[in-house]
Chains A and B, each alone.
Chain A
Amino acid sequence: MIECKNLTLSYKDGNRENLVLDNVDMQINNNETIVLLGPSGSGKSSLIYLLSGLKNPTFGQIMYDGVDIEKYNSKQFSDLRRKKFGYIFQQHFLVPYLKVIENVLVGAPKMSNTYRVKAQQLLHELGIDQYMNKRIFELSGGERQRVAIARALISEPDIIFADEPTASLDHNTAVEILKLIKKYKESTTLIIATHDTSILDGNESIVRIEHGKVIRDNNAESLSTLKNQTS
């Protein structure tokens, strides 16, 4: 379980204080799928960065399984992020000179035959095992994002943070990619930031972010309302 209390993020722009996140309180249970919805600049990505430990908050507390992440030392925190968290970004950020399977292994906590087999399984499940020994430039956008998903999943993370994972893809591929990510929701908490409501199927918990403030909804009706608003 991950939770945050009074999470605030601001930055100074000259003499002006810009508030990105304003006293966010949130609790995300294990195996829950949370979709952070909001327009560009609303603070979705910043919330993901803070929750995943990529960025430090200006103020507030983030607890992972009841432990304040501030209490982790550098190595423990690094281990937490490598072993317990998985990351999928808008761009795949795959290593261009590595083969597909090697890129997946980049996400593994250690290099071993077990993880090699796991990488092969993941690529098979994601339907790209035939590209295992290919280079990244030989793949399409959707295939690259699948490799990025496999990389995020190989460490069997407790939480997957996906920041606009479908933004650079066409609609059909985006829907398909989101389905693939959700395939693992039974064992993983998914926190997905997106501004595209059209790819959601209503089975997610929706958290709306507006001007750095969080409004949490728990039903699919709000999604259809949102969809109607944006369509």
Chain B
Amino acid sequence: MIYSYSSITERQTEGNILKPFSALKFFKENKRKGLMTFIVLILSICAISLITVMINSIHESFDVYTQPLTKYSLVAGSTSDLYLNQSVVDKLKSDTDIERLIPCDTDGINTNFSIGGSAVVGTFANVSNLKYLLGKFNDVVKEGRLPKNNTDEIAVHQRIMLNKNWKLEQIVGNKVDSKEFLSGSYKIVGVLDGPAITFVGTQSNREKQYIKNGLDITKPIEYAVFAKPGKFDAVNKTLESINVNDATVSDFNTIITQSNDSFASINTTLIGVILAVTIILSISISSLMYLIYLQRSDEFGILLAMGYRKSFIYRLILKEILFLNIISWAIGFLLAYLLIYLLNYFVYNPQGSVLNFFSVNVFENTLCIPIVATIFSILPILSKMRKQDPITIIERRD
């Protein structure tokens, strides 16, 4: 081929001109066409991320609340009898797998760490046992001191303090705030820190209340059961074998079993929401994409006429849709991260709580949207493209 190369003009062209069919070219040059898909995807991915993180926070809160139960188990009187059955007490005392049995009483503080709120369990026992208990929990007194025997004092974990906006020396309980779970009134004398979010008080003072209410405090009401090292599961197995008419056992397994049903329904709802969003979204995006690519029939027809292979065009369409979805996913994900950061900063952290954004299921739940949307989009377009005849396009006179 002879061209007159003498007249070359080295006019510089703007931008990257060597890739007219790069994956982002079409949507970059036709921002309006991809905009709707882009926005819908970003918002959906952001919404799914937020829902997943919120539900994760319920799971995490549950883990936090049940953390003490990974160190000890509680055995209390049955629902029909406040006092513990003597045979149960004897059984526990004779169990060689048990390191220590602490006579105690438990109560709760209502918190709002997660959606719906929950109660944190606290233990009332004598001071020497409280020291042992906190040692087992790996919790320490960060500020102030432990409650003294025969006082209306409690030491509270710093995250509960933050969540309730309590201060050291403050008097708390349902006597000062009727909405509070904790019965009675107590002065906060210490702030705890450590993995177990809990609170502690002295039992003797609670006993006074029981006597006042006409209860026989010589009879055992509740025990905190600590297993010897390596015997935690064996002890829990023994506790779970106790007849429900004889005692109420609260151990980690029991709590997990009890909560499994509610978590199962939460998880099913989450999956349902994700499925519904994914399917509705994928169908909508697929329709939008189909329209966009239908408008590009001439372009693809002429490429086929010029000798481009169908596989090239399929790859181009796949790349374009995939890139749009991936970019939308990344932006949606970042937006969700930003929102979680703001929620943590303004709402959760001041309550002593935190929404954890980075978990595998946030990736999984959001990734299924671009994947399914790509598949839903690509299939009808490719099916249409398969039947594409360039002659029909060339011969069209319009």
Contacts and interface: CB of A to CB of B under 8 A. Distances in A.
Interface stretch (B13-21, B46-54, B239-247, B374-382): B13-21
A133 B14 contact: yes
B91 interface: no
Contacts of B395: 45
Contact of B17 (A96, A97, A101, A125): A101
B308 A124 contact: no
Given A93-B298, A97-B30, A106-B303, A121 B8 contact: yes
A187 B9 contact: no
A153 B1 CA distance: 9
Contacts of B26: 97
Contacts of A124: 7-9
Interface stretch (A108-116, A202-210, A213-221): A108-116
Interface in A29-86: 45, 49, 54-55, 74-75, 78-83, 85
Contacts of B299: 93, 95-96
A75 B20 contact: no
Contact of A75 (B17, B19, B309): B309
Contacts of A78: 307-309
B282 to A, nearest CB: 25
Contacts of B8: 117, 120-121, 124
B218 interface: no
A141 to B, nearest CB: 14
B184 interface: no
B306 interface: yes
A98 interface: yes
Interface in A93-139: 93, 95-99, 101-103, 105-107, 111-113, 116-118, 120-122, 124-125, 129, 132-133
Nearest to A117: B8
A105 B20 contact: yes
B293 to A, nearest CB: 13
A184 B1 contact: yes
Contacts of B179: none
A122 B390 CA distance: 26
Nearest to B29: A97
B394 A187 contact: no
A45 B303 CA distance: 18
Contact of A121 (B3, B302, B303, B397): B3
A75 B307 CA distance: 10
Nearest to A48: B394
A8 interface: no
A3 interface: no
B305 A113 contact: no
B364 interface: no
Given A49-B391, A95-B20, A156-B1, A101 B306 contact: no
Interface string B336-371: 000000000000000000000000000000000000
B299 to A, nearest CB: 5
Given A54-B391, A55-B391, A93-B394, A102 B17 contact: yes
B4 interface: yes
A188 B1 contact: yes
Could you say which interface size class chain A belongs to?
Answer: 35 or more
A68 B25 CA distance: 38
B35 to A, nearest CB: 15
B11 interface: yes
A95 B30 CA distance: 12
Nearest to B397: A90
Contacts of A55: 391
A89 B42 CA distance: 42
A82 B308 contact: yes
A99 B13 contact: yes
Contact of B18 (A87, A97, A112, A156): A112
B10 interface: yes
Contacts of B4: 121, 125
Nearest to A168: B397
Contacts of A186: 2
A103 B3 contact: no
A2 B114 CA distance: 78
A166 B21 CA distance: 28
Interface in B251-309: 298-299, 301-303, 305-309
Contacts of B391: 49, 54-55
Nearest to B27: A97
Specify which of A49, A97, A101, A133 lies most central, judged by the most chain B CB atoms within 10 Å of its CB.
Answer: A97
A143 interface: no
A162 to B, nearest CB: 12
B13 A133 contact: yes
Interface string B305-340: 111110000000000000000000000000000000
A169 B23 CA distance: 34
B12 to A, nearest CB: 9
Contacts of B21: 106
A15 to B, nearest CB: 23
Contacts of B29: 97-98
A87 B307 CA distance: 10
B307 A82 contact: yes
A99 B25 CA distance: 11
18 contacts: A55-B391, A87-B305, A89-B305, A93-B302, A95-B302, A96-B299, A101-B17, A105-B17, A105-B18, A106-B306, A111-B19, A120-B8, A121-B3, A121-B5, A125-B7, A133-B14, A153-B1, A184-B1
Interface of A: 45, 49, 54-55, 74-75, 78-83, 85, 87, 89-91, 93, 95-99, 101-103, 105-107, 111-113, 116-118, 120-122, 124-125, 129, 132-133, 153, 156, 163, 184, 186-188
Leading 8 A-B pairs by shortest Cβ distance? A81-B307, A156-B1, A82-B307, A97-B29, A93-B302, A102-B20, A111-B18, A187-B1
